[in-house]
Amino acid sequence: MNNSLAFNHDTLPQKVMFGYGKSSAFLKQEVERRGSAKVMVIAGEREMSIAHKVASEIEVAIWHDEVVMHVPIEVAERARAVATDNEIDLLVCVGGGSTIGLAKAIAMTTALPIVAIPTTYAGSEATNVWGLTEAARKTTGVDLKVLPETVIYDSELTMSLPVEMSVASGLNGLAHCIDSLWGPNADPINAALAAEGIRALNQGLPKIVANPHSIEGRDEALYGAYLAAVSFASAGSGLHHKICHTLGGTFNLPHAQTHATVLPYVLAFNAGDAPEAERRAAAAFGTDTALEGLQRLRLAVNAPKRLSDYGFEASGIAEAVDVTLEKVPANNPRPVTRENLSRLLEAALNGEDPAVLSAVLSN
């Protein structure tokens, strides 16, 4: 038998600039290198003051602040019109996943280049994945046009992110790592990136909780979030993201908190049928099992515990199952049925012990 290693791996073309307090200088370098004359800066109202600081050394043609979670199609269309009407030649987005998602929506139809400057650990900046919501349904896809050409990481910009949101956002990043271990295009390279992402986030998030102004903790979390996103962009969207996109797009649940809450349940659901992925994740956490490592981290950072805290109700489970079942990847380690997916969502709704869920599902 031939036991040689064989796989196909896609590496996305992207420049990464990383340094505390260097975002303004980095952005100036990028604008000058490109010769951009009409820059559109996108930032939500809460991030606009950060955006003004970051863009203080460049000329800005348009400041755009209509940013909405899950990127409703009508919001995207208005932003596209602004970019087109003002003959914009560079998009600069400063913020989290919703802000970067809006820039991607513009780039999808205009092919404008993006410089992304994240202020959270969502990871959208390092992927070619877009998402739009229309009529209470979130649709995602892959298009190289939406991949930011340059990403600028500056942990100084994350210092004002509240600890609670930092935790949820960081666990969202960790979800990219876990999903990458069994995504549709999982391979040894993105698995290695995911494992290092787990290690970095596992180290960084507790430091942020202990000291919200820890440069070391913030740097580790940004580094881990980047690795998580790169691995996810290559491996593709797994079961966890299909569930969370349904909960966000159909029920308007908050993005980061939903990912943070659902993650241990999907890990418990799949781990028994993906032993190699489980062992790799456990080793990255430094624990006997991956679930033990994740739960230890969640306890240390006081992670979100139940979907009911964010407005999800038992009456929504049936619809969530219907929508999710249409999107489940064919290669998911454990076969997904209406019954076991309903049970998973019920457990996440009520904050049950994921280990108990794993035992139930294996019977």
pLDDT of 357 strictly over 80 = no
**Do 319 and 281 fall into the same domain?**
yes
**Do 320 and 177 fall into the same domain?**
yes
**Do 274 and 231 fall into the same domain?**
yes
Measured at the alpha carbon of residue 297, what is the angle toward residues 292 and 300, in degrees to the nearest 5? 125
Mean pLDDT of 324-334: 93
**Do 208 and 233 fall into the same domain?**
yes
Q: For residue 3, give Cα distances in angstroms to 6, 181, 189, 226.
A: 9, 20, 18, 32
pLDDT for residue 139: 82
- Domains in the chain: how many in total? 2
Question: What's the pLDDT tens digit per position in 223-258?
Answer: 999 999 999 989 988 999 999 989 988 898 988 899
The whole-angstrom separation of Cα 57 and Cα 231 is: 33
Question: What's the pLDDT tens digit per position in 126-165?
Answer: 999 898 988 877 788 889 999 999 999 999 999 999 999 9
Question: What's the pLDDT tens digit per position in 98-116?
Answer: 999 999 999 999 999 999 9
Angle between helices 73-85 and 97-110 (to 10 degrees): 60
CATH number of the domain that 74 lies in?
A: 3.40.50.1970
**Do 87 and 234 fall into the same domain?**
no
Question: What's the pLDDT tens digit per position in 267-301?
Answer: 999 999 999 999 999 999 999 999 999 999 999 99
**Do 183 and 271 fall into the same domain?**
yes
The whole-angstrom separation of Cα 78 and Cα 64 is: 10
Burial of 135 (0-12, 13-18, 19+ CB in 10 A): exposed
**Do 139 and 179 fall into the same domain?**
no
pLDDT of 61 strictly over 50 = yes
> Which of the 8 DSSP states describes residue 96?
S
CB 290 within 8 A of CB 256: no
pLDDT of 1 strictly over 90 = no
pLDDT for residue 359: 54
Pairing label, strands 90-95, 62-64: unpaired
| Domain coverage including residue 168 | 163-361
If pLDDT is split at 50, 70 and 90, which confidence band does 72 have? very high
pLDDT for residue 236: 87
Prediction pTM value: 0.89
**Do 74 and 35 fall into the same domain?**
yes
pLDDT of 221 strictly over 90 = yes
CATH number of the domain that 291 lies in?
A: 1.20.1090.10
The whole-angstrom separation of Cα 165 and Cα 163 is: 5
Reported in sequence order, the residue ranges of 70-181 that DSSP labels E, i.e. its strands, are 90-95, 114-118, 129-134, 137-142, 150-153
Helices H / strands E in the chain, number of each: 14, 8
Question: What's the pLDDT tens digit per position in 172-209?
Answer: 999 999 999 999 999 999 999 999 999 999 999 999 99
- 332-352 exposure pattern, b = at least 16 Cβ within 10 A, e = fewer: bbbebeeebbebbbebbbeeb
Note whether residue 171 is domain-resident: yes
CB 115 within 8 A of CB 148: yes
**Do 96 and 201 fall into the same domain?**
no
pLDDT for residue 136: 76
**Do 353 and 278 fall into the same domain?**
yes
**Do 68 and 21 fall into the same domain?**
yes
The whole-angstrom separation of Cα 215 and Cα 164 is: 17
Residues of the chain above pLDDT 90, percent: 84
pLDDT for residue 10: 83
pLDDT for residue 321: 96
Burial of 68 (0-12, 13-18, 19+ CB in 10 A): middle
If pLDDT is split at 50, 70 and 90, which confidence band does 363 have? very low
Written as six digits, the tokens of 300 are 């240390």
The whole-angstrom separation of Cα 17 and Cα 282 is: 30
CB 154 within 8 A of CB 26: yes
Measured at the alpha carbon of residue 304, what is the angle toward residues 119 and 326, in degrees to the nearest 5? 85
Q: Is 143 left (phi over 0), alpha (psi -120 to 50) or beta?
A: beta
**Do 167 and 230 fall into the same domain?**
yes
The whole-angstrom separation of Cα 322 and Cα 141 is: 20
Q: Among 158, 182, 206, which residue terminates a domain?
A: 158
